């Protein structure tokens, strides 16, 4: 019984529980259904908004595509194709509507392209005709103005360089060469006529100038050449005014100088002629390069003179030298200052013969070592200043000679340089180099066994208390250097410009 009561009790509880569960499920179902309906409504709203946006996007793409088509069509409708290839340039369709419309537009374009081109060409042709007519009118007006100006242009060009108007049209380009030929022919005719008249005037003018020139020349040289008028050396020539006279003027002056020289040489002795020749060679060597005395007489042998107290001994020494060494003539002999290899100055007698260069003592005229053949002279070095030193450069093993030739109150380096130049040049059959340098390198210490050292010789202004007028002093420097200090220029030195 108890068991039955428990079962009944359990059944009642179960029924109550089931009833309670059924009420709860209904409520949950209602809640869920309401949420589902709400979600479906929101989804429909989203779809509606998306459709609205897509429709707006399609409308925007349609407008953008049609604007691009119109722009391309506007830009490509010009020569030479007039928009024939326009469909290839259209923008790519992106919507279904534009994809459907594109074939229709292409078909319409093919139908209207030919008509558009024909209309365009007709309008262009009318404009071109009017433009060509206007260009032809302007060309004729400019051409008329050019020819009118040309008639007023003075010689000698006669407006040959005046430019023709630019030919733009085909008709003008055909006519332009013909007009230019006519213009050149007319220009040549008028220029020839002008030049013929000018040539006649110039010919008569030149003939008149030549007659006047010859008349003045004859009148100038009517006076007979004599020593009083220096053989007409300074007679003035009339001015040459024409080209022929300017060409003949130098020839006439050259003839006059030759005639003047011939007349002057006729009264000179052979010795004087040789001296003149030597002075001309000295002028060629020293003029404009180093001061020298052109008015001094070249004696050559300054030892065989009455002022030399040892003249007889010198003559005997020379006679013995000729017999021993085979020399035949003395071309230069003088008492000079020679710088030895120790840098000390010594008085020695330098004799230049037709074959050798000798050095002798000044007291007893004893030969110092042996003579040096003339063919061994390499060059002569001098400075461009007013000093009196010169360096004779010899081929090894002979030593170079450093000589001071201004100890007798006058310069004699020009004479010795000229003598050596003539002798060595005649032996070698080529000119002897003569250098004028502000710095001279020499070697007066070498021999067959010792190569010696090169010494650098420079020049500077000396102290007026130590140097006299025209005097040059030698001073050895440190190392392989030496300096020549120059005094004030002597009276024979030309003033510097």
Tell me the pLDDT tens digit for each residue of 333-371: 999 999 988 888 899 999 999 999 999 998 888 988 888
3-state secondary structure of 214: helix
Mean pLDDT of the chain: 79
Cα dist from 77 to 67, 113, 452, whole Å:
16, 9, 99
Buried/exposed code over 221-255 (b: 16+ C-beta within 10 A; e: otherwise): eeeebeeeeebbeeeeeeebebeebeeebeeeeee
Whose CA is closest to 401, among 436, 364, 349, 362?
A: 349
Residue 31 pLDDT more than 60?
Answer: yes
Q: Cα–chain-centroid distance for residue 409?
A: 50
Give the pLDDT of residue 496: 44
Name residue, tokens 């010494």: 455
CATH code of the domain occupying 292-486: 2.30.29.30
Residue 151 pLDDT more than 60?
Answer: no
Q: 379: pLDDT confidence band, cut at 50, 70 and 90?
A: very high
Residue 330 near residue 352, CB atoms below 8 Å: yes
Structure confidence by residue, pLDDT tens digits, 461-486: 765 445 554 577 888 888 788 888 87
In the chain, domain spans: 2-108, 292-486
Give me the half-sphere count of Cα atoms (radius 13 Å) on the Cβ side of residue 282.
23
Name residue, tokens 């010169």: 390
Q: Report percent pLDDT > 90 for the chain.
A: 14
* 206 vs 248: CA distance, rounded Å: 14
Residue 260 near residue 232, CB atoms below 8 Å: yes
* 349 vs 338: CA distance, rounded Å: 9
Give the pLDDT of residue 381: 94
What is the average pLDDT across 203-232?
75
Whose CA is closest to 290, among 472, 108, 77, 476?
A: 472
* 39 vs 48: CA distance, rounded Å: 14
Q: For the chain, first and last CA: distance in Å?
A: 170
């Amino acid at each position: 019984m108890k068991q039955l009561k428990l079962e009944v009790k359990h059944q009642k509880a179960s029924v109550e529980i089931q009833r309670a569960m059924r009420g709860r499920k209904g409520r949950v179902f209602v809640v869920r259904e309401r949420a589902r309906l709400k979600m479906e409504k929101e989804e429909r709203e989203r779809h509606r908004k998306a459709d609205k946006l897509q429709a707006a996007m399609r409308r925007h793409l349609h407008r953008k595509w049609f604007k691009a088509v119109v722009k391309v069509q506007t830009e490509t409708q010009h020569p030479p194709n007039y928009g024939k290839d326009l469909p290839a340039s259209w923008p790519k369709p992106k919507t279904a509507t534009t994809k459907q419309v594109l074939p229709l537009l292409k078909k319409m374009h093919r139908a209207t392209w030919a008509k558009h081109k024909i209309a365009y060409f007709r309008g262009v042709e009318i404009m071109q005709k009017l433009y060509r007519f206007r260009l032809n009118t302007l060309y004729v007006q400019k051409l008329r103005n050019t020819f009118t100006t040309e008639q007023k242009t003075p010689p000698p060009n006669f407006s040959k360089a005046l430019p023709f108007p630019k030919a733009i049209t085909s008709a003008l380009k055909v006519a332009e060469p013909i007009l230019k030929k006519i213009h050149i022919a007319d220009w040549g005719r008028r220029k020839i006529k002008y030049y013929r008249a000018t040539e006649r005037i110039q010919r008569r003018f030149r003939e008149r100038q030549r007659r006047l020139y010859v008349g003045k020349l004859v009148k100038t040289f009517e006076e007979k050449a004599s020593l009083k008028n220096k053989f007409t050396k300074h007679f003035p020539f009339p001015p040459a005014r024409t080209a022929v006279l300017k060409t003949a003027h130098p020839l006439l002056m050259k003839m006059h100088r030759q005639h003047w020289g011939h007349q002057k040489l006729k009264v000179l002795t052979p010795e004087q002629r040789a001296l003149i020749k030597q002075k001309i060679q000295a002028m060629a060597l020293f003029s404009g390069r180093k001061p020298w005395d052109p008015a001094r007489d070249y004696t050559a042998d300054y030892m065989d003179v009455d002022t030399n107290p040892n003249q007889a001994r010198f003559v005997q020494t020379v006679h013995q030298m000729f017999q021993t060494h085979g020399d035949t003539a003395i071309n230069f002999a003088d008492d000079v200052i020679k710088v030895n290899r120790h840098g000390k100055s010594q008085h020695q007698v330098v004799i230049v013969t037709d074959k050798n260069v000798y050095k002798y003592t000044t007291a007893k005229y004893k030969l110092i070592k042996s003579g040096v053949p003339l063919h061994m002279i390499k060059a002569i070095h001098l400075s461009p200043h007013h000093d009196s030193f010169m360096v004779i450069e010899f081929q090894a093993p002979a030593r170079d000679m450093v000589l001071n030739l201004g100890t007798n109150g006058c310069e004699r380096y020009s004479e010795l340089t000229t003598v050596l130049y003539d002798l060595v040049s005649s032996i070698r059959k080529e000119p002897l180099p003569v250098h004028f340098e502000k710095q001279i390198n020499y070697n007066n210490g070498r021999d067959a066994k010792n190569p010696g050292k090169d010494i650098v010789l420079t020049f500077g202004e000396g102290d007026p208390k130590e140097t006299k007028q025209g005097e040059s002093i030698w001073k050895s420097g440190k190392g392989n250097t030496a300096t020549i200090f120059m005094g004030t220029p002597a009276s024979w030195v030309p003033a510097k410009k």
